Structure 1
């Protein structure tokens, strides 16, 4: 062997010896793609690469975000020690010092006011274990009713609509692998090609099998480019679009009358309401041709199988609950529910948006989708937690309304874990005022976010490569994210931070866990008998089966591939039509001479949520390093703006300065801007504070704005 060959051999041998493999899954969207991250030491540097791992949902696929997610986990800007604010500046501190400060201030606030003066705010990227523990910490550790999470702005419309209609909210009513056999698919308000790219092969296979794909979106997105029929609906008119389709189906006798009479409630009342629809007038309000709406209705009703998938486009409306329910009506009217390749899918946005809302970090819920206002549910959870039922607080308020309580002074302290409300919340200027109003604020974070900057104490928390736990993907499959990377510096897991807070508040005996699996086993018991029953799911079973669907009431329970095959999960076993609107007509913001354009917001391929993680990936940030607004060419000409220039968008709440991108992909009356940036680019400064009365969802997808060149060009 030559010297050169020997040197190469030794180099490879050394490389193998220094390579480490971290088995994990992507921390971003709800597809929860499995992967492994390879860490290789080359000299004094560490290099990483990511490989997709086969699994039932994504089959080894990864998108650009998943491939580069490791970059934020190893970023040098990570906070790795507790920080305490002294005279307006953060200083490093020890854990004991920081925890003592929290205990002192939380107690003082509660003694001066009441238990509810302290609040907790979580996130849809927390593991099931941590979401469960956040709710328990609020109710047992701190005794407060004020707890909610950022998923309120993501999935609440779909969750409430599914619960009212079907009696159960599990995201998808069918396994995702049934999609290729659906002969007509409606994608309502979802740009799935950019937001969940590894989902797209299911749609492509369906198209190859002869499926007719209908996309409803004000923009010509990559998803719309796949469609056989693209309905470029005016923002906020999705409910009217669904009503027109319902009307056409009934007027032409395309409904499954036997199914509706045998398995639904409110059918005759719905028929009476549909008789009042004026097709010509109502179609004009949607901005669509009546012929296209009728074709969509005919295609869906006449197809032998069909599915409807919704996302934020139709859900993030002040009538989002009613809107989703009308899309569910299309399934009920045609009998396309409870059957193979027929059903509904709420395309969850956040990594654990589904599981995060099931086990108690929402103001009105207890673990297992139990209601905090139901005495029987309260007694069950109180027994599991070892407390008295009367000691459990009552129902709190939604995430946005918590901000209002802070500004008003009712809430005096906050523990924030897994969210960045300064950027993500509507009417973001209110969040600035709210965080400035509280007397004491604690944040668990990886980075110095816009929200963390307001904190009095910051705890360094773990990344997805370090934090083991379960997550529930968009189809209701509970997965296990393994994690073997060492915690950097003095970082701790979110569940360990919550345990420490409970300890300094004198409630440590209720929070004695050694590992995440201990918390999950308690969650299993707490959820037992609830609608989201995880009792039969264990870490071992998840590993054996590569994920387990709920409901799973026992360890030998079979998984239902299709929900509602025999009956629905309502008290009477029937699906329920919406017969009276819950949202007031006219609640949506309208344009006028001062604010003549509609603004709609969304996500892009390269970034996730408020961008605090993805913008710390050099490869992702290079793809999109600043925010922008899409403007139709005619609109740009009318308002004197040009592509590439900075423009100012203004609403009745505030302003944002963005880069103008002139594009024919968007409607003339509509602007589109992504929501991943803060500061002057924070588009949520413009969003109205009006909330859906049923689910407390803000109207992110329709805001009246003005457009003009930014000062100075």
Structure 2
């Protein structure tokens, strides 16, 4: 829609999906008075338009001979088709895989899952959301029968009397959400933050609990122990709305406050203060995020906080409940509609015959044609190029060379592939390794829908015309399906794809059947589940029953386990990773945004002053962090805002400053989430404050093109 009229659309970054207005000629971006952000934006949102005319933008397909070189779309798609067909003839359907992303629109995520199962007939499909939301999703499904990040609108946070945030730092990672925290404080709410760092959010809390990394589960069980002992458990709610409480009560009996203090480092009196705050509040919320979830026991840790919320009678009550802060732009919708290894659209289960039959009928295929569940994201990546593993991989909307744990291991596996295809807007660290790179549209150049952290389905509207030669992923997948003889099952029009998604999700847990583009426009988004056109949508879940067969929530006993990797003489410190305000995910976009790159030009590692003195490190020095898997060099920031036994590093950079070169790929046994938040490292001073960091980009030695990052 070229012209001067402002087009209402949404920020391309986090799960708030803040409303913005964009005009194409000249490009101008302003915040919108959308319910989520009400005219506010963070630094990433304000600068999102800087990438639309970026000189490093990919504008033509690239193919590898001895190096990557520009090519026509015909040549690029011919090569991909030939590689797929040759691999499947020799190794079978599962030798070709797809790796998606939590930033893809609902339409793209849906079509990618369908492409894998109908065009490729492969079980090998998963996405980077497995690295983000999977532990909370498994725990919520186990307890409530349904996974929606927040089962209430964001605005309810401003109305609750007590709020506990666990491993969440929304003031830095999604600043427009701060308006709800500020409003809550103005209304007299008490805020508790559980985090090993004194983050911006923790610094403004009424009570900050600072446990050792990997001990959140013990802390949750300890809080529940005291709540039961001091009479704060809601016996009526437990009897009427839940099952399994007796087993949980028995399991937390041994988590006495003094024992929990020894495990976590959180003083006993502060544990009791947290219990009184939650137990005496007229309404209360417990919200977890990646700090609690990205561990080898992340599902159980999340479950412990859900147990606490259920015992206090919070879920389903006004201005109360349990929720989790989805991170990626479409982290919610991206995991609902079929790009996960075990799911079909609408949160249907691939292993369930009735679910398979319903989706197959919408797709017009025999249910027997659909493959079974495949491997989770890291498991698929870890078996690339091996016997029985994927030999040809198609990557859409993801940069696993930066975002996956144990970076060097993943990079080596990618290099064993017979053929790698990457669709992206820039030559990312993963795209540099590809045999074919496909230039795709950016957020402002496409139509589609996304689902916010609160379960609100919103519209992304095309505001500018894509550069000549750039195609969107729906068109790529549809054309590839046609070349594979399955084109009759596919459509590249986003509105028609969404209408098919609605039918496929109908009757499922994530039911979008009553949501249309027109309704979204009229109502500023629609909350799922929304099973019919006359249904109002569901802003608040669980008010009357849970999504379990008997309508009751499930308590699940869980026990503290030590982190998979403990510090020792060689690796005496704990590394935890996370986000910064100015960067996003793997940094493919934000590290190329001039304003953001100038604000945070290099990655820093936070060390407590006591830890810094032990290793002779001053503020601004270069430090090398080394784990059993790799090494990374960072600029030291000496601060008392982190525990003395812990180092914090952001994960947005690649190359020599990749935090994920160090992280532990051990997986949660239920969610298959890697343990990003805890690994053992050593610290060595390797330079002074005036010494430059080594280059942070992956070497682009196999390409004729220069990576502008």
Q: CA deviation at 1:580?
A: 5.0
1:493 aligns to 2:472 (yes or no): yes
> Secondary structure of the equivalent of 2:69?
strand
Write the distance in 1 (CA, Å) between the matches of 2:89 and 2:72: 26
Render the CA deviation track for 1:462-487: whole Å, top value 9, x for unaligned: 00010110000000000001113111
Q: CA 1:561/1:489 → structure 2, altered by over 3 Å: closer, same or farther?
A: closer
Q: Which residue of 2 aligns with 1:54?
A: 33
Mapped to 1, the partners of 2:623 and 2:117 lie a distance apart of: 46
Q: 1:464 aligns with which of 436, 443, 450?
A: 443
SS at match of 1:55: coil
Counterpart in the other structure of 1:443: 422
Task: Name 2:155's counterpart in structure 1.
Answer: 177
1:546 equivalent in structure 2: 524
> Which among 31, 44, 53 is matched to residue 16 of structure 2?
31
Contact 2:616 2:685 in 1 (8 A): yes
Residue 422, structure 1, aligned to residue 407, structure 2 = no
Offset of residue 20 of structure 1: 5.6
Work out whether residues 568 and 574 of structure 1, in 8 Å CA contact, stay in contact via their aligned partners in 2: yes
Report the Cα offset of residue 40 of structure 1: 4.6
Query: How far does the alpha carbon of each residue in 1:3-24 deviate from its partner, in whole angstroms, 9 at most, with x for none?
Result: xxxxxxxxxxxxxx97463432
- The correspondence for 2:337, drawn from 329, 338, 359, is 359
Q: 2:651 aligns with which of 675, 681, 684?
A: 675
Output the CA distance in 1 between the equivalents of 2:343 and 2:654: 31
Verify the 8 A CA contact 1:22 1:465 in the aligned structure 2.
no
Take 1:316 and 1:153, find their aligned partners in 2: how far apart are those partners?
8
Counterpart pick for 1:536 among 502, 514, 519: 514
Q: What residue in structure 1 maps to residue 663 of structure 2?
A: 687
Q: Distance in 1 between matches of 2:623 and 2:427?
A: 28
Q: Distance in 2 between matches of 1:363 and 1:18?
A: 42
Preserved CA contact (<8 Å) 1:81 1:93 = yes
User: SS where residue 35 of structure 2 aligns?
Assistant: coil
Q: 2:284 aligns with which of 306, 310, 318?
A: 306
SS in structure 2 at match of 1:465: helix
Secondary structure at the aligned position of 2:36 is classed as: coil
Structure 2 residue aligned with 1:390: 368
Q: Secondary structure at the match of 1:659?
A: strand
Aligned equivalent of 1:624: 600
- Aligned partners of 2:522, 2:491: CA distance in 1, in Å? 28
Is 1:591 the counterpart of 2:567? The answer is yes
* Match in the other structure for 2:256: 278
* Matched-pair contact (CA < 8 Å) for 1:120–1:416: yes
Cα pair 1:407 1:433 within 8 Å, conserved: no
Is 2:460 the counterpart of 1:475?
no
Q: In the alignment, what sits opposite 1:702?
A: 678
**Deviation string for 1:577-611 (max 9, x for gaps)?**
11255xx8345211111111111111011010111
**Aligned match of 2:104 in 106, 126, 137?**
126
After superposition, the Cα gap between the structure-2 partners of 1:368 and 1:326, relative to the gap in structure 1 and judged at 3 Å, is same
Give the Å deviation of 1:407.
4.7
Question: C-alpha deviations, 1:217-237, integer Å up to 9, x for none?
Answer: 111111112100011111111
What secondary structure does 1:220 align onto?
Answer: coil
Distance in 2, Cα, partners of 1:506 & 1:532: 31
The answer to whether the 8 A contact 1:339-1:562 is kept is: no
Normalized against structure 2, the TM-score is what?
0.95
**What does 1:487-526 correspond to in 2, within 5 Å?**
487-513=466-492, 515-526=493-504
Aligned residues: 687
TM-superposition CA deviations, 1:428-477 (whole Å, max 9, x none): 11111111011011110111111001111111100001011000000000
CA drift of 1:141 comes to: 0.7
Question: Which residue in the other structure is 1:10 paired with?
Answer: none
Residue equivalent to 2:541: 563
Aligned counterparts of 1:627 and 1:556: Cα–Cα separation in 2? 50
Structure 2 residue aligned with 1:604, among 557, 580, 584? 580
Supply the distance in 2 between the matched residues of 1:387 and 1:484 (Cα, whole angstroms). Answer: 36
Partner Cα distance (1:615, 1:271) in 2:
48
Deviation at 1:707, TM superposition (A): 0.4
What does residue 75 of structure 1 align with?
54
- Which ranges of 4 or more aligned residues in structure 1 deviate by more than 4 Å? 17-20
Task: Work out whether 1:434 is the aligned partner of 2:410.
Answer: no
Alignment partners' CA distance in 2, 1:417 and 1:246: 42
Once residues 610 and 279 of structure 1 are traced to their aligned partners in structure 2, the CA distance between those partners, rounded to angstroms, is 39
Residues 215 and 231 in structure 1, CA contact (< 8 A), matched pair in contact too: yes
> Which residue is equivalent to 2:116?
138
The offset of 1:259, in angstroms, is: 1.0
Indicate if the aligned counterparts of 2:260 and 2:266 stay in contact, CA closer than 8 A: no
CA distance in structure 2 between the partners assigned to 1:177 and 1:585 by the alignment = 36
Shift of 1:25: 0.9
Deviates more, 1:542-551 or 1:266-275: 266-275
**Residue 179 of structure 1: CA displacement?**
1.4
Structure 2 counterparts to residues 398-417 of structure 1, below 5 A: 398-409=376-387, 410-417=389-396
Q: Distance in 1 between matches of 2:442 and 2:287?
A: 31
**Structure 2: gaps (5+ residues):** 692-709
Partner of 1:44: none
> 2:699 is matched with which residue?
none
Structure 1 residues 46-103: Cα deviation after superposition (integer angstroms, max 9, x where no partner): xx4321111122112111110001112220100111111111x111111111111111
Tell me the equivalent position of 1:13: none
CA distance in 2, matches of 1:306, 1:318: 28
Is the CA contact (8 Å cut-off) linking 2:225 and 2:256 kept in structure 1? no
Structure-1 separation of matches of 2:24 and 2:335: 34
Asked if 2 retains the 8 angstrom alpha-carbon contact of 1:345 and 1:475, the reply is: no
- Contact 2:394–2:420 (Cα < 8 Å) also in 1: yes
Rounded to whole Å, the distance in 2 between the matches of 1:484 and 1:19 is: 10
Match of 1:3 in 2: none
Cα contact 2:22–2:463 (8 A) shared by 1? no
Once superposed, what is the RMSD of the aligned Cα atoms?
1.4
Tell me the SS of whatever aligns to 1:408: coil
Distance 1:233 1:79 in 2: 45
| Structure 1 position 39, deviation (Å) | 4.2
Q: Secondary structure, in 3 states, of the residue corresponding to 1:368?
A: helix
CA 1:18–1:113: 2 relative to 1, 3 Å = closer
Check whether the contact 1:174–1:340 (CA below 8 A) recurs between aligned residues: no
Q: Deviations over 1:130-168 (max 9, x none)?
A: 000010000001010000000000000111111100000
SS of corresponding position for 1:573: coil
